């Protein structure tokens, strides 16, 4: 298990009965979490003094209940700054558990001893993009949502990375990779954080169980001759770490690297235990 335990501006304070109590900077949020199947006593006062609470609907989706929360605020991780806001389906614009991966690949980039080109696919609001750029890589950031790419650019400005070598693209990730193959472009590292289900800008349908393995295979065609790393994240229950290891091991076999996959998790302050938050598969040279 890889633990994102270096945060100062974020923590999971407690979790019980399908929800987690989190501190985002100075604000407390209660949000649903399907992994929290235990029902333990809610002793922390933050459960009642939260700034906002996302209530899931039995019909699907849900809505925010606000008590005292600004429309937007910021938190920091190391030298990075992330602008947050509550928006649809419980999200705030950041997945803090991914910091475990940011730290891992940042060290690889810093120690590479050469220029590193990184491709970040399904790149969302740019957490991995900014971490890679701050470590010295040139990054191509691809996401199908114009709004997410705009948000990522704002995070780059807030993090002092406005002039960093980042290429921002609103595009369907599969079609972009297919075009890169035809153009003969290559990357030293690939990061992908595919959704369980999604649609591209022109209605392209993505179902992770059907699409992820062919897509990994496609991406190997744009790796450089001496790739540095390949990172796949999954928040889909059916894709266990061993499945990620199997796919990466078979598709990147010719590069003679090492593959390891684990759950990623966040520490829970009240119990000293860890809350699982998906899985990551890492290939490295």
Confidence (pTM): 0.94
CB 13 within 8 A of CB 36: no
Average pLDDT score over residue span 138-148: 96
For residue 82, what are the β-bridge partners?
75
User: For 41-96, what is each residue's pLDDT tens digit?
Assistant: 999 999 999 999 999 888 778 999 999 999 999 999 999 999 999 987 899 999 99
Q: Specify whether the CB–CB gap between 72 and 87 falls below 8 A.
A: no
For the chain, percent of residues with pLDDT exceeding 90 = 88
Question: Tens digit of pLDDT for each residue in 57-69?
Answer: 887 789 999 999 9
Pairwise CA distance, residues 181 & 131, whole Å:
26
CA dist 59 and 47 (Å) reads: 24
| Cβ pair 109, 134 in contact under 8 A | no
pLDDT digits (tens, 9 = 90+) for 147-204: 999 999 999 999 999 999 999 999 999 999 999 999 999 999 999 999 877 776 677 7
Cα dist. 277→50, 185, 261, 281 in Å? 22, 33, 13, 13
């Amino acid at each position: 298990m890889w633990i994102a335990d270096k945060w100062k501006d974020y923590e999971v304070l407690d979790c019980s009965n399908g929800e987690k109590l989190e501190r985002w900077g100075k604000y407390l949020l209660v949000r649903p979490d399907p992994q929290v199947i235990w029902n333990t006593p809610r002793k922390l006062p933050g459960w009642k003094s939260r700034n906002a609470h996302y209530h899931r609907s039995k019909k699907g989706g849900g809505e925010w209940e606000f008590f005292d929360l600004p429309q937007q605020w910021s938190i920091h991780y190391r030298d990075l700054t992330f602008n947050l806001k509550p928006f649809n389906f419980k999200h705030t614009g950041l997945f803090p558990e991914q910091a475990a991966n940011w730290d891992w690949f940042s060290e690889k980039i810093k120690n590479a001893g050469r220029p590193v080109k990184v491709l970040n696919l399904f790149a969302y609001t740019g957490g991995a993009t900014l971490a890679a750029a701050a470590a010295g890589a040139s990054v191509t950031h691809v996401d199908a949502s114009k709004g997410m790419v705009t948000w990522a650019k704002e995070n780059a400005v807030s993090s002092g990375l406005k002039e960093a070598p980042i290429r921002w693209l609103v595009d369907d990730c599969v079609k972009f990779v297919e075009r890169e193959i035809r153009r003969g472009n290559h990357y030293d590292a690939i990061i992908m954080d595919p959704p369980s289900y999604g649609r591209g800008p022109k209605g392209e349908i993505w179902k992770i169980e059907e699409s992820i393995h062919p897509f990994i295979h496609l991406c190997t065609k744009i790796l450089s001759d001496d790739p540095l790393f390949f990172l796949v994240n999954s928040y889909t229950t059916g894709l266990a770490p061993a499945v990620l290891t199997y796919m990466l091991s078979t598709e990147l076999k010719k590069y003679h690297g090492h593959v390891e996959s684990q759950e990623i998790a966040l520490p829970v302050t009240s119990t000293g235990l860890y809350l699982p938050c998906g899985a990551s598969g890492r290939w490295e040279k």
